Amino acid sequence: MRKRSLGLILYFVFLLLPIYWLLVMSLKTNQEILGPITFWPENLTFQNYFTIFNDPSWYTGYINSFIYVVMNTAISLTVALPAAYAFSRYRFVGDKHMFFWLLTNRMAPPAVFVLPFFQLYQTFGLFDTHVAVALAHCLFNVPLAVWILEGFMSGVPREIDETAYLDGMGFPRFFFTVFMPLIKAGIGVTAFFCFMFSWVELLMARTLTSVNAKPIAATMTRTVSAAGMDWGLLAAAGVLTIIPGAIVIYFVRNYMAKGFALGRV
Amino acid sequence: MNKTWNNAAWLLVVPVFLLVAFSAIIPLMTVVNYAFLDIFGPGETYWVGTDWFRQVLASDDFQGALVRQLIFSGMVLLIEIPLGITVALAMPAKGWTASLALVLMALPLLIPWNVVGTIWQIYGRGDIGLMGWFVTRVLGLDYNYTADPLAAWITVLVMDVWHWTPLVVLLCYAGLRAIPDAFYQAAAIDGASKWKVFRYIQLPKLRGVLLIAVLLRFMDSFMIYTEPFVVTGGGPGNATTFLSQQLVKQALGQFDLGPAAAYSLVYFLIILLFSFVFYTAMSRIGQAE
């Protein structure tokens, strides 16, 4: 037992040290970073964070990322909820093919779609808008949302549906007042996953934007300047991207694993 | 669970179909179009048949990237799956330590992929990174991931283990919690050893989640782009250039539409093959339960 927890502690050290290092670095001055190694900031400074919060070209990156992530989560959930219900309750012509086709989109390498997306969105005049990124991320988030929700919905006994219909409840009323409260946890977890995968993706977000909807991930490449890398600023920007995720995890921690298993544990 | 036939259910699926079709079918048609044509300008397109495919399949760039990709994905699975199971077995089952462990465990999964790259880019540097400093100054080893292919490989691999093992841990953890206590009590009565409990109770019960873990890890590592791009830029040379990066270089860097499109289709078909195996295996398990 002692040996086991020692191993676990070692693993957590491995897990947390890189994050610790990023955090420490964001609180150091560039002179200290480039000087002899220190394990704790000697001149504690919040200058890097002030720079980010006061410079529009920095903080709009976070705002842009938030806008398209929230849009994507809303769109994904709205379309995925009814579809997942259909897949979990009914058989219909081509259902299995349809489900498989959806999955292939989750598994398609984004790199494959980068070039055509670029042209498609330019044709539609959507290039460099938040909608473009939100729609592009639907490519992998909608199938994922359908998949997870279907797993959660299959866990709800069918008798509940049948009883409701026998009582003369219409589908919309049943779905919103009876069924959705039953899969609250599933909806929360799905929202979390859509948020997460849209938040961490860079390739498409960067390709489909230039100025107006530029995500924070792309802004971070700005720290390379003629004067060399501004490591402290880069680290501070990195720390700020971790915080939203860390907050959301806390709320879904008990259902998270079930979500990762696509609702099938 | 036997489902009822109802073709009206299609109505519920139509929004998803339209949305994904807009994002998937139109671009895919464009790619197919490019893959068989040579385009000089508007109105000047020539049918080239399978020329691009032959060119891509025969090119050293593609073959090299494919081999590196397969080795990388294989190593990722060999390390992350056993490590993930081991850590999941050691995780506390209940109480505040369990909550804390879960939250910390999930942290790397929520970091944007380019920031993961940035973290390791800094962490591995000999002058400003803790790991680089430790390896070069304290252990006195010659380690520089920007110059030495082996060091670059190790860095990218350790980074992926750091980034994605938590996914395997969380899946296995959820699988382990789903095993009823009665199983363990029965094993205790029989006087089964720890190894036997693992081999005959825990491992079989983990089969479903492990399958998901293996396939998710395989496919996501097969599409890896951002993290090595940030850390090594695919170098030194092209030692850590994997399939996605090679493709992006070709498509957006050189704007070689024809070969890039053919490349995309080959890449996509490889993935499609694996997803088919995955899907079949998944539904088999679903039926068995």
**Nearest CB to B170: which of A100, A138, A257?**
A257
3-class DSSP state for residue B5? strand
Are the beta carbons of B133 and A260 separated by less than 8 Å?
no
Residue A1 has pLDDT above 60, yes or no: no
Amino acid at A116: P
pLDDT digits (tens, 9 = 90+) for B124-161: 887 888 888 888 888 878 888 888 888 889 999 999 99
Categorize the per-residue pLDDT at B228 as very low, low, confident or very high, splitting at 50, 70 and 90.
confident
Question: Max Cα separation, chain B?
Answer: 80
Domains, chain B, ordered by start = 1-49 (no CATH), 61-288 (1.10.3720.10)
Q: What is the pLDDT of residue B81?
A: 93
**Nearest CB to A253: which of B15, B99, B114?**
B99
pLDDT digits (tens, 9 = 90+) for A22-49: 999 889 888 888 777 778 888 888 888 9
Q: What is the pLDDT of residue B85?
A: 93
Q: What is the pTM of this model?
A: 0.85
How far apart are alpha carbons B175 and B93 in whole angstroms?
Answer: 12
Residues in chain A closer than 8 A to B3 (CB atoms): 89-91
Q: What is the pLDDT of residue A124?
A: 86
How far apart are alpha carbons A151 and A139 in whole angstroms?
Answer: 19
pLDDT digits (tens, 9 = 90+) for A233-252: 888 888 998 888 888 888 77
Q: How far is B222 from chain A (nearest CA, A)?
A: 8
Residues in chain B closer than 8 A to A264 (CB atoms): 208-209, 212
Residues in chain B closer than 8 A to A110 (CB atoms): 223, 225, 244
Domains, chain A, ordered by start = 1-45 (no CATH), 55-230+237-260 (1.10.3720.10)
Amino acid at B42: P
Q: What is the pLDDT of residue B72?
A: 93
The least confident of A80-84, B173-177, B186-190 is: B173-177
Q: What is the ipTM of this complex?
A: 0.82
Q: What is the pLDDT of residue A257?
A: 65
How far apart are alpha carbons B138 and B161 in whole angstroms?
Answer: 23
pLDDT digits (tens, 9 = 90+) for B44-53: 777 777 778 8
Q: B interface mutation test: which of A4, A28, A92 has the most B CBs within 10 A?
A: A92
Q: How far is A155 from chain B (nearest CA, A)?
A: 10
Are the beta carbons of A100 and B252 separated by less than 8 Å?
no
Q: What is the pLDDT of residue A20?
A: 92
Q: How far is A211 from chain B (nearest CA, A)?
A: 18
Report, as an integer, the average pLDDT of B19-43: 80
Token reading at B75: 């190593």
For chain B, what percent of residues have pLDDT higher than 70?
A: 94
For residue A138, which phi and psi values (nearest 5 degrees)? -60, -30
Are the beta carbons of A25 and B162 separated by less than 8 Å?
no
Categorize the per-residue pLDDT at B264 as very low, low, confident or very high, splitting at 50, 70 and 90.
confident
